[in-house]
């Protein structure tokens, strides 16, 4: 959410930043509502003062027997009371409209974010690893014989419909191993604090991180009003909602492995085969809460944490910075990490790491104190470290062998009882 005072102070700069995100004339709408609200508040305060003054004079008029003045003053008090009520209602309405407008505006992009319309305008920052020459025509993950035995989409469709999967045997164990490996690496090597959070949250939590009110259709809601989280960003970030944090405790770095739920609204027809785009999936999510002057460095650090997972697994990837037209609603800068998938002969997103500045903190009222002890908003960051199902896909496709078996990364040996092969029959060996 944006600070109306900052818009007042420099509307042209605000409009210029919003224009990069495809919006125009925003400041004039906000300032008009702000002026209506402030004028109504000022007029209500004036009416209140006039009411109070008249109330004090009523007694004196009564005491001196001035009945006409007494009646005039009494009528004036009633008039000012009604006027004040109407002005307060006007102020509340304008304030609600202003809040709705500000809540619906995306974050301002950082200065180094490239301008562009869509993913074609994203800018590659670096690559790691070389896509493997398998020596045969690679298959997609759901076509590999060794994987096929443990990926059951037909039964999942019977249970739940499309965009679900049942994992069994080696696939289930490999999926679990990947999540454990990610958690252990982030905790033991990257200094994150492992956290278990609910997957059901209230409206306030979804509003705090920007999923509500604008993107309600992208998530699932229960009949009694809870929301299923689209990512643990929601819960991990909201851990500090409404708090004033001791500066000595920053940065706060948390990681959680959770189920995630997305309706995939607007993705009809995209990635319908396999498990690349699911309604229910698992992620290992990183969230950092920092002071304002540390958030850019923290963004770079978190990106490296996610990249390091792929390097340890030996999976080629590239890192891009998203352009203004492709960046998420709450982000001021986003690095997407895209892993190489031989079956699609392309890189596909496996992690988005974003810094949100104070955008979410304003919505959550999450603060710390500056050097003078004055409350100031924290900065929040989030990133996948990684999407577990997509990582499973990458391991399967990059490790596939011509005979249908799959060679697994050595770093997973401790999690798989030392077995680093999935046979063509789908058995760990």
Measure the CA–CA gap between 290 and 297, rounded to whole angstroms. Answer: 10
- Residues marked as binding for L-serine? 231-233, 262, 285, 382, 384
Per-residue pLDDT at 83 exceeds 80: yes
Q: What is the pLDDT of residue 103?
A: 95
Residue keyed to tokens 């202003």: 98
254: Cα separation from own chain's centroid? 15
Q: What average pLDDT score do residues 181-199 get?
A: 98
pLDDT range class, residue 412, cuts 50, 70, 90: very high
Measure the CA–CA gap between 211 and 201, rounded to whole angstroms. Answer: 12
Per-residue pLDDT at 164 exceeds 70: yes
Q: What average pLDDT score do residues 206-210 get?
A: 98
Measure the CA dihedral 132/136/140/142, to 10°.
-120
| pTM for this predicted structure | 0.93
Per-residue pLDDT at 8 exceeds 70: yes
The string of pLDDT tens digits covering residues 251-262 is 999 999 999 999
Name all domains of the chain by residue range, CATH numbers in brackets.
Answer: 4-103 (1.10.287.40), 119-422 (3.30.930.10)
- Residues marked as binding? 231-233, 262-264, 285, 349-352, 382, 384
Per-residue pLDDT at 355 exceeds 80: yes
Chain-wide mean pLDDT for the chain?
A: 96
Per-residue pLDDT at 157 exceeds 80: yes
The string of pLDDT tens digits covering residues 265-312 is 666 667 778 999 999 999 999 999 999 999 999 999 999 999 999 999
What is the b/e burial string over 323-342, where b = at least 16 CB atoms within 10 angstroms of the residue's CB?
bbbbbbbbbbbbbbbbbbbb
Q: Point out the residues that are catalytic.
A: 262, 277, 349, 352, 390
Question: Which of 67-71, 268-272, 274-278, 418-422 is the least confident region?
Answer: 268-272
The string of pLDDT tens digits covering residues 364-397 is 999 999 999 999 999 999 999 999 999 999 999 9
């Amino acid at each position: 959410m944006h600070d109306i005072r900052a818009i007042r102070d420099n509307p042209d700069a605000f409009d210029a930043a919003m224009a990069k995100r495809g919006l125009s004339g925003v400041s004039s709408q906000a300032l008009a509502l702000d002026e209506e609200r402030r004028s109504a508040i000022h007029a209500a305060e004036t009416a209140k003062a006039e009411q109070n003054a008249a109330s004090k004079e009523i007694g004196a008029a009564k005491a001196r027997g001035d009945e006409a003045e007494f009646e005039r003053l009494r009528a004036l008090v009633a008039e000012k009371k009604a006027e004040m009520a109407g002005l307060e209602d006007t102020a509340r309405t304008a304030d609600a409209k202003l809040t709705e407008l500000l809540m619906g505006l995306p974050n301002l992009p950082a200065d180094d974010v490239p301008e562009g319309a869509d993913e074609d305008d994203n800018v590659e920052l670096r690559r790691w690893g070389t896509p493997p020459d398998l020596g045969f025509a690679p298959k997609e993950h759901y076509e590999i014989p060794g994987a096929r035995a443990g990926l059951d989409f037909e039964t999942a469709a019977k249970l739940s419909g499309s965009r679900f999967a049942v994992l069994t045997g080696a696939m289930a164990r490999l999926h679990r191993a990947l999540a454990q490996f990610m958690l252990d690496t982030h905790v033991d090597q990257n200094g994150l604090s492992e956290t278990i959070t609910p997957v059901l949250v209230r409206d306030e939590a979804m509003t705090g991180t920007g999923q509500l009110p604008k993107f309600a259709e992208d998530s699932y809601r229960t009949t009694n009003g809870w929301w299923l989280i689209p990512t643990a960003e929601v819960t991990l970030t909201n851990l500090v909602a409404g708090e004033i944090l001791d500066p000595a405790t920053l940065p706060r770095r948390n990681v959680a492995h959770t189920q995630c739920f997305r309706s995939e609204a607007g993705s009809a027809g995209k990635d319908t085969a396999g498990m690349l785009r699911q309604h229910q999936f698992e992620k290992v999510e990183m969230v950092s809460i920092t002071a304002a002057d540390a958030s850019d460095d923290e963004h770079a650090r978190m990106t490296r944490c996610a990249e390091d997972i792929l390097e340890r697994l030996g999976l080629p990837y590239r890192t891009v910075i998203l352009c203004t037209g492709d960046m998420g609603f709450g982000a001021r800068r986003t690095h997407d990490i895209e892993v190489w998938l031989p079956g699609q002969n392309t890189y596909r997103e496996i992690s988005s790491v974003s810094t949100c500045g104070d955008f979410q903190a304003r919505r959550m009222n999450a603060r710390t104190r500056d050097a003078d002890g004055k409350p100031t908003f924290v900065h929040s960051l989030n990133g996948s470290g990684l999407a577990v199902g997509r990582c499973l896909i990458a391991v399967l496709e990059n490790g596939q062998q011509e005979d249908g078996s799959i060679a697994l990364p050595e770093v997973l040996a401790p999690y798989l009882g030392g077995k680093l092969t999935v046979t063509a029959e789908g058995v760990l060996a």
